[in-house]
Amino acid sequence: MTVIVHHLENSRSQRILWLLEELGLDFEVKRYERDKKSMLAPAELKAVHPLGKSPMIEVDGRTLIETGAIVEYLVAKADGMLGAPSHIDETQRYRQFLHYAEGSMMPPLLSILIVDRLGLLGRPARKPLLAMLSQHLAWLNAELGERPWFTGESFTAADVMMSFPLEASQQRAGLDARYPNLLAWLDKIHARPAYQTALQRGGPYAFA
């Protein structure tokens, strides 16, 4: 059965295309453009789900939302490929980073995006938000100093989940040469053949 991915340009749904390529699952891409003024998702997505947010996937007439839930569903569909490793410590890290990406990294990144759009009005809030995010970046950089991937010795779906917040951090939130392990990790994921194929399937992506 084919998975239909409702893919919004320059969004977290790029991770779903990448994961599907890594898993070797069949999928179809329905791509949506952001509103040029507001940069929000178009109203057409609300015809798929009332929240009108991407990513969304359709499988057998059912719609599934939320990136983490979609990732867990697809890993299970692929018989656990790129899922939690068997070692207890790596299993815990897998679960941690699978949820950390959205639960801890994305809120300050979204806040930075909002204050940047406020111009002068948002400037006072930008410095403390960047300081908050720098704590995350420093910790993540140290984590990748201990092992090649977020979970352990092997690439997993947790790395896929971590891609978007770190790509966004590099573009607009201070991820630079102070965090060499994170930059090396980004170079490594961007070089993966499945990542490159997903870019071709999904269209232009500003964060790669």
Residues 200-205: what's their mean pLDDT? Answer: 94
Q: How many residues does the chain have?
A: 208
Burial class (CB in 10 A: 0-12, 13-18, 19+), 59: middle
CB 18 within 8 A of CB 160: yes
Residues 46-61: what's their mean pLDDT? Answer: 93
CB 48 within 8 A of CB 57: no
Q: Which pLDDT belongs to residue 30?
A: 96
Q: Where are the domains of the chain?
A: 3-82+194-202, 88-192
pTM of the shown model: 0.94
The answer to whether residue 73 scores a pLDDT higher than 80 is: yes
Residues 9-30: what's their mean pLDDT? Answer: 97
Angle (CA) 137 34 162, round 5°: 25
CATH for 3-82+194-202, options being 1.20.1730.10, 3.40.50.2020, 3.50.50.60, 3.40.30.10? 3.40.30.10
CB 14 within 8 A of CB 186: no
Q: Which pLDDT belongs to residue 90?
A: 97
Tell which wins on pLDDT, 171 or 123. Answer: 171
CATH number of the structural domain 88-192: 1.20.1050.10
Q: Which pLDDT belongs to residue 120?
A: 83
Q: What is the pLDDT of residues 102-118, one digit of tens each?
A: 999 999 999 998 888 88
Is residue 123 very low, low, confident or very high in pLDDT (cuts 50, 70, 90)? confident
SS (HEC) of the chain: CCEEEEEECCCCCHHHHHHHHHHCCCEEEEEECCCCCCCCCCHHHHHCCCCCCCCEEEECCEEEECHHHHHHHHHHHCCCCCCCCCCHHHHHHHHHHHHHHHHHHHHHHHHHHHHHHCHHHHHHHHHHHHHHHHHHHHHHHHHCCCCCCCCCCCCCHHHHHHHHHHHHHHHHCCCCCCCHHHHHHHHHHHCCHHHHHHHHHHCCCCCC
